[in-house]
Every structure is written in C-alpha cells, then in structure tokens.
Chains A and B, each alone.
Chain A
Amino acid sequence: MATTTEAATGTPRTRTRLLEDERWLAFFLLMPTIVLLALFIAYPFMKGILLSVTNTRVGVPGEFVGLAIFEKVWNDGIFREAAWNTIYYTAVTTVFKLALGLWLALLLNRHFRGKAFIRAFILLPFIIPTVLSTFAWKWMFDPTFSVLNWLLREIGVIDQRINWLGDPDLAMGCIIAVNVWRGVPFFAITLLAGLQTISPELHEAAAIDGANARQRFLYVTWPLLLPVTMVVVLFSVIQTFADFQLVYVLTEGGPANATHLFATYAYQIGVRTGLLSEGAAISLAMFPVLFLVVIFQLLYIRRVETR
C-alpha cells in the first residue's frame, strides 16, 4: 500500500505531464509528418505554380510573365497530343484492367490446391520494379529479336516482322498492354479481398431462390463489390493518368511524339530541355483532372462510410 502511494505521487515528470494532454500528444506525434509533407509536398506545389507564371530555365532566374507560359503550352500541338494520349491511355487500360482483374479475382475466389502460392506469384508484376520488368517487355518487343514475332510466325499468323514499338499506333497498343499486365494483379488481389468479404451464404440463398450463376454475379456479387471496385478504379486512374515509367522505358514518347503522356512530356521539356517553367506548367496541367478524381473519391468514401 505504502509503496503504491509513494510511486504514484513520485517526482513530477513535466514532459510526460504535457503528453498526458491529448492535444499536445497529437501535436507531438503529427509534427514530423506535417513538417515533411509541408516541405516536400506543399512547398513544391506552391513553387510549381510560381515557376509556371515565370519564364525560368535551368540556371536562369525567370521574371513574372503571367499566364503566358500556360498559353504557350496550350497552343503546343505536342502538348495537345500528349493530353489526348493520356486520356485515351487511362480510359483503355482501366477498362481492361478492371475486366481482366475481376475475371482473375473470380477465378481465385474458388477453392483449389496451391491457391496461396498462385496468389503470391500473381502479384509479381506489381511488386517488381516497373522499369525493370518493362525492360523485359521492351526486349520482347525488340524489332529484330522479338520472341513475340517468332511465336506469331510459328502459329502461322504473320510472315513479315512486326515493328512493335516503331509504329505509332502499335506503340500505344504495346504501352497499354504492358500497363494492363502490370495493373491486373493489383485489381485482382484487391477485388479478391472484396469478394472474400461477401458471405457464401448469400450465394447459396440466391441459388435456392433460383438464380443462375450469371444472375448471382449480377444481383449479388457485383452490387456488393461495387464500393471496393470504385475505390480501386479511382486509385488506378490517378496512377495511370500520371504514369511515366512505362513510356519512358518503352518509347520515350516516340515514335514522333506519338506516345507522350503529360508526365513524359513534362520531363522532356522541363528536365531534358531545361525549360523549367514550361515543364512545371505541363505537370500542373494534370492537376485539375487529378483534383476532380480525388474530390469524387473523397465524396464517395464518405457516402459509403455514412451509409
């Protein structure tokens, strides 16, 4: 008894006392995060806006030019093509990733031997550094040594070689294919997690109510999976819209600027050419779309949570 009282009323520890207050503790715990994010997210964002209203180049401090840079970028044909490419690329890959990812998730949702093993392997395209795996694809698309060409000839589909990355239309197709390859595991595994939260009893009940497999998917699985699907799609849209690595490795925006995206074009102009202001402006051009997607996502999550 005596020991307890003594220990409890021992020397006052001022630091601990301060941290007993929830608000001080929260402040202390959040400080490092806030400092880092302010320094390397908020500050660069301001700086980006500042850059894009001046005419700064590497080593040359710029002066204020108002919206001249944005006007210049807007009238740039390659920028417009890059903008169109980005939208097209995002839309097509998202549709394919969702369709194939959902299919794969449904396959994986069954019971079979070695499921955990196969699931682990399926994620490989997603975890392996993208630039490195993209190099494997580039090697497979090689104009002279392509294994794909060999395969197609063996099957008897072609007798002329296909210049996969050299042809403007084909190049975009190749980039889309690699992005889908990389993204399908992410969709499949997250949608699988969503599928596993759906009680099998619901399917059994629906089956007893006379629903066939297609109807069970349409009326039970899909509606219950929709919230997860929405979030996954929005995440993927943001990532794809701002993609850089795939194009950088496969085509560097070529042939003839046919495959530039916002990010690769910004890199081309801002870093390669050293026109910092133009580069920053091109990057920032992504912002309105990303902003809308994020707002939509926030509202959607809030709606799902309050339901």
Chain B
Amino acid sequence: MGAAPASRDVTSYGMGLAAPLALFFLIFFVAPLLQLFWLSLHNDTAGLHWGLGQYLHFLTDPFSLGVLGSTLLLGAEVTAVCLVLGFPIAWLYQRVGPKLQTIIILIVLLPLLTSVVVRTFAWIVILGRQGIINATLQSLGVIDTPLKLLYTQFGVVIALAQVQMPLMTLPLITALGRIDPNLDDASCSLGAGSWRTFFRIVLPLSLPGVIAGCTLTYAAAITAFITQSLVGGGQMLFMPMYLYQQASTLQNWPFAAAISIIFLLAVLAVVSVFTTLGRLSRGYGGA
C-alpha cells in the first residue's frame, strides 16, 4: 500500500487486507459450489444432457422427500432437546460462584475436546442391547427384555444433543451474562414470582442467545454425518448419508449434486427463519 493522499477517508481501509481470505473462499468454496450446481443440471450420470431432471426426480420421489423431511425433523428435535437441557445449565452458570463456573464450563466444553467418532462410539456402548442403560435397568428388574435404543430416532436425537450441546450452551451463557442481575431483583421487588420473572424478563432478554444457539445447533445436527450414520444405523437414512450413497456407492454424481443443492436451500430457509425471528426481537438484549 502506497502513501495515501491526505484527503483519504481514514475509515476506508483497503479491501486488499481481505484478499487472502477472499481468494481462499473463492477457490475452495465458491468454485466447488458452482461446479456442484453445474453438475446438478445434468440429466445423465455422464454429464452430457442438460436439464432439471435430477431436481424433478427428487421433488417427485416420496422416498427422497421423506429423507429430507426426517432430516429437518431430526434437526428440530435435537435443537429442542439442546434448548430445554442447555438453558438451565446456562442459567445455573450465571448464578454460581467462580469455582463452580469453571467446572460447568469444563463440562460444557468437554464434548468439543474429544473426537466425534469416539463420542459416538461411547453412545453406542451406552445405548446398545447389552449397553449400560439396558444392563442397569435389567439388573434393577425394571425391564425383562432389553429396550431398543440404538438405531432409533430417540437414540440419534440423544446422541446428537450431547454432541451439539456446547453450540447451544455457549451462546446462551453469553446472552444470560449480558442481562443486568438487578433486573431480576427489580422484577422480584415489584411482586413478580420466579416464573413471571423468567418468562417476562429473562427469556425475552436472552432471545438473541436462544436464536444464535438454535441456528448453530440446527445446522450442526442435520449435517452430522458420523453420529447420524453410526447411532442411526442402516435403517435410518438422513440427507448426508443419502447424499454419500448416491455419490460414492451409486456414482450418480448429478443426483448427489442436486440433493446437495436442495439440502443447502432447505437449511438456508430454516436459518433465515431463525435470523428473521432474531431481527423481530431487535429491541431485546440491547442496553
């Protein structure tokens, strides 16, 4: 960068500083995405005939739509579980002493410090027919035959919820930490009980954190290939595995590309719903 003329606006730093990252994104993100889109516009696997056949196929095929639907539903369930379980943790974090705070943050972050594969296999051990849950319940005499936990929607939701929990809890902790503790006292002194204080004051003011946490958890849950496949097993098919099968096993690259684009658009639609909600709550959380 040469010497700037004296009249130059000091706030307009050259875009050149962003160039390395922009170039990186252009080569490794935008270009492959365009290639993917280009590929999806072909009707045959050889990529010779142009057309929207792959999209028509997906959108008219009940099986494919079912996979998309169950994937979006899975995301919603995982997000709901994370929100319901994560909020109390975040709330507790803001109300305990510094020592307990360290312990809570460690527990929250712990999943991030172990490999996804290891964590997922741990869940298989916990949920399996001879797993910890079934063994415990059987030895207590609660059940006679083992429950089917592994390879069920329930199992996938629980495992994913644990894996994605930090993505929900951390934004919630930040959002709750920004709420003036005097507001709690003020509400209480005005005669409001704990529930009214929670629903009228704490929850509305933590909405930015709730929305950020939900967006992150949702996006991460529906694209979690490893956990979905290992805990879900062969019977449960979600979009990432569906995509993988089409691309790697069946070598149907144009259809796999179309699945990717549709999945991408579906995720973007859900995320934009969250962001719109966030904008509607604009008056919240600010000073």
Q: Do A and B come from one complex?
A: no
Hey, which bits of chain B sit against chain A, CB under 8 A? none
